[in-house]
Amino acid sequence: NTFRFHDPAAQAAWSARAELENSLRRALQHDEFMLHYQPQIDRAGRVLGAEALLRWRLPNGRVLYPAEFIRAAEESGIIVEIGKWVLRTACAELARWQRAPETAGLTLSVNVSARQFNQPDFVPMLQAIFEHSGVQPSSLKLELTESLVITDFVQTAHTMATLKRRGLSFSLDDFGTGYSSLATLRKLPLDQLKIDHSFMRDVLTDQNDASIVRSIIALGDSLGLQVIAEGVETPGQRQFLSEAGCHIYQGFLYQRALSAEHFTQYAQGVH
């Protein structure tokens, strides 16, 4: 005794999402995720470290980028498990770097979702990973986003302070795209601001983007934070950054994200 309405388009979208979530669970069980490492370079062209970026190799060989699955992973909560895998894999790799003299000084930045960072067991989970991998956490940097920082400021600041005492450092990713106030920023134990690549694209032609980038660098300087630019694609963009006072770069001008093996070779100058 009821009416039911059927919308084929909504049904299709819902099925596609459910299928994606199932595939994400399968991907974890079948080890389909990989981390690639994008070099971070200083003004002298030296490799300082890398950012770990997640890739998903489907059984048919196609490789998916985070834009195609991170949102679904976050909304369904699977990101918590995926993020654990990311941290385990990243720390195992960092521990390998630390054991070889040529790579011992490199840092590794890892993206952490809000949902993952706010898990009550996030700190003990990380601690267990440190112990298991034998990694020195002082070379590990967690990349947080502005939205994470402002959703639950008190909890976030507390967790950050705890991890900071263990030697980790923090970078604020996609900086400039969110709404965090300067007062908020000042109260967090941050080490680095990361200029979002959306500002880099037109930095040489768009006066607004150029002003934003210059302001972020000045802000970082005055708060005593390191500033890194991502999405650096051309020598002109690097020149602009360097003149504005930003001396750490990440982008296609240098390298795309590489497999662990290729990154290690790159960092040792074998390229």
Longest distance between any two alpha carbons in the chain, whole Å: 75
Q: Which residue has the tokens 């150029």?
A: 210
Q: Mark residues 156-195: x for contact with ligand C2E by CB under 6 A, - for none.
A: -----------------xx---------------------
Q: Are 32 and 56 in contact, with CB atoms under 8 Å apart?
A: yes
Q: Are 188 and 150 in contact, with CB atoms under 8 Å apart?
A: no
Q: By CB under 6 A, is residue 67 in contact with ligand C2E?
A: yes
Nearer to Mg ion, 93 or 174 (CB): 174
Footprint of ligand C2E on residues 199-228 (CB under 6 A)?
none
Q: By CB under 6 A, is residue 251 in contact with ligand C2E?
A: yes
- Kindly tell me which residue out of 98, 113, 171, 264 binds ligand C2E, with binding defined by CB under 6 A: 113
What is the Cα Rg of the chain in Å? 20
- State in angstroms the smallest separation of the CB of 228 from Mg ion: 10
Q: Are 60 and 3 in contact, with CB atoms under 8 Å apart?
A: no
Strand partners, 110: 52, 142
Q: Which residue has the tokens 């898990």?
A: 119
Q: By CB under 5 A, is residue 146 in contact with Mg ion?
A: no
User: Could you tell me the end-to-end alpha-carbon distance of the chain, in angstroms, rounded to an integer?
Assistant: 71
Nearer to ligand C2E, 17 or 201 (CB): 201
- State in angstroms the smallest separation of the CB of 110 from ligand C2E: 6
Three-class secondary structure of residue 171 per DSSP: strand
Q: By CB under 5 A, is residue 143 in contact with Mg ion?
A: yes
Nearer to ligand C2E, 30 or 256 (CB): 256
Residue 83: Cβ-neighbour burial (10 angstroms; 0-12, 13-18, 19+): buried
Q: Are 213 and 179 in contact, with CB atoms under 8 Å apart?
A: no
Footprint of Mg ion on residues 178-237 (CB under 5 A)?
none
CB under 5 to 8 A by kind: which of ligand C2E, Mg ion, none does 14 bind? none
Q: Are 117 and 156 in contact, with CB atoms under 8 Å apart?
A: yes
Footprint of ligand C2E on residues 119-158 (CB under 6 A)?
143
Q: By CB under 6 A, is residue 89 in contact with ligand C2E?
A: no
Rounded CA-CA distance 271/262 in Å is 9
Q: Mark residues 94-113: x for contact with Mg ion by CB under 5 A, - for none.
A: -----------------x--
Q: Which spans of this chain sit near ligand C2E (rule: CB under 6 A)?
A: 38, 53-54, 65-67, 70, 83, 86, 111-113, 143, 173-174, 197, 230-233, 250-252, 257
